A and B are shown apart, each in its own frame.
Chain A
Amino acid sequence: MSEENDHGSGSVGHGDTSQRVGVEVVRERGGDPEAIREKLVDAIGAEFTTYYYYTNLRCYLAGKEDYKEITEDARLEDRAHFELVMPRVFELGGQLPNDIRDFADRASCPDAYLPDDPTPENILETLLEAERCAIRTWAEVCDMTRDCDPRTYDMAQRIYNEEVDHEAWFIELLSRERDGEANPAGHFVRGEPGDAPYSTNNRLNESA
């Protein structure tokens, strides 16, 4: 019987914890894991700030309960997007900014401030443009990762799906509110608030 040898481990040394195969395989396929992870920090910065701003926007939709509920779905799903991708930043060798101000500065989409005149129409316009920025962001992440990083790509396309849902909702509501026109999204709100049917992360408990 021969002696047992350490098995080979590709470009990462046997037992080496200073490198990650999950990073190197991205590089080997032509991807730039450092660029991807920095883009992810910017993108989830936008999800996190949007979650905050939507909290405020939602409050000013009082009396428009249907608008409030849909904004709540979008708000919670944006948080779900942050939660889904955050671990991937660490997996790719990155970290979250220590100071939340840096995180907000880096957000790849504009702050969704409450409009000076917070009418339902103006708030819906703000929500719509925020969703459009998110769609573009996650489409870019999909482009960066499609052929080299299936794990990030899978996350990005799940989030992209929900951002497109959100845009459709706010187009529908704004068309009715501002223009008096029917412009259906073609679907309904989630089964539970912020269901995130594509992107829900593994939850630690019911409150997560």
Chain B
Amino acid sequence: MRYTVELVVPDDCEVERVADGAAVDVERAVGEAASGPNGHAVSLAGETFELEVDEDEYVLWAARNAGVWLPADCQQGWCCRCAGELRSGELDQTDSRRYFEEDRDAALHLLCTATPASDCRIRVCQYEAMLEERASHDLPPGRSKR
């Protein structure tokens, strides 16, 4: 089963896309973002990117395989760097090492270990929001970073 996942990139998020899927550093390549041709990364800030994701595929890796270099760190569902806000649809977070019901209640997810259970619309780059949410419930790592 495959689902359509829409990634909504906020204006202040430096996510970029490379046409051929080759990985580039999202945070470093800001200055190059405007030059789309010749294989350079193109900024997706303020844009929405749609991709197809298998039911057993992590959203992060479906995006990166499509050349969209979403932020991530541990890729084990722990550090929260990859956090996104689920605007619609359903994500399965079973494979995450540290995920709380409070996160789900706040519609915040860890995309590195999230598989789609329906078509989804996700606002990416929500690391700071995740830290705030965790801190508000006295949960790690937010409580130790606020």
Contacts and interface: CB of A to CB of B under 8 A. Distances in A.
Interface of A: 30, 38, 42, 97, 101-103, 105-110, 129, 133, 136-137, 140, 143-144, 146-147
Complex A-B, nearest 8 residue pairs according to Cβ-Cβ distance, in ascending order? A105-B140, A102-B144, A105-B144, A110-B97, A143-B25, A108-B79, A110-B78, A133-B74
A135 to B, nearest CB: 10
Interface residues of B, number: 19
B contacts with A: majority SS:
loop
Interface string B102-114: 0000000000000
Interface in B29-85: 31, 72-76, 78-79, 81
Contacts of A133: 74-76, 78
A13 B116 CA distance: 54
Contacts, number: 53
A129 B73 CA distance: 13
Contacts of A147: 28
Contacts of A108: 73-74, 78-79, 81
A106 B140 contact: yes
A137 B28 contact: no
Interface of B: 25, 27-28, 31, 72-76, 78-79, 81, 97-98, 140-141, 143-145
A contacts with B: majority SS:
helix
Given A133-B76, A137-B73, 14 more contacts: A30-B31, A101-B144, A102-B143, A106-B145, A107-B141, A108-B73, A109-B79, A110-B98, A129-B76, A133-B75, A140-B73, A143-B25, A143-B28, A144-B27
Nearest to A141: B73
A137 B74 contact: yes
B14 to A, nearest CB: 11
Given A102-B144, A105-B141, A42 B27 contact: no
A72 to B, nearest CB: 24
A146 B79 CA distance: 22
Most B CB atoms within 10 A — which of A97, A103, A106, A147?
A: A106
B25 A136 contact: no
Contacts of A137: 73-74
Contacts of A97: 144
Contacts of B81: 108, 140
A133 B76 CA distance: 7
B79 A42 contact: yes
Contacts of B78: 108-110, 133
Contacts of A42: 79, 141
Nearest to A133: B74
B95 to A, nearest CB: 12
A110 B28 contact: no
18 contacts: A38-B145, A42-B79, A97-B144, A105-B144, A106-B140, A106-B144, A107-B141, A108-B78, A110-B74, A110-B97, A110-B98, A133-B74, A136-B73, A143-B25, A143-B27, A144-B28, A146-B25, A146-B28
A167 B8 CA distance: 35
B139 to A, nearest CB: 9
A17 B73 CA distance: 34
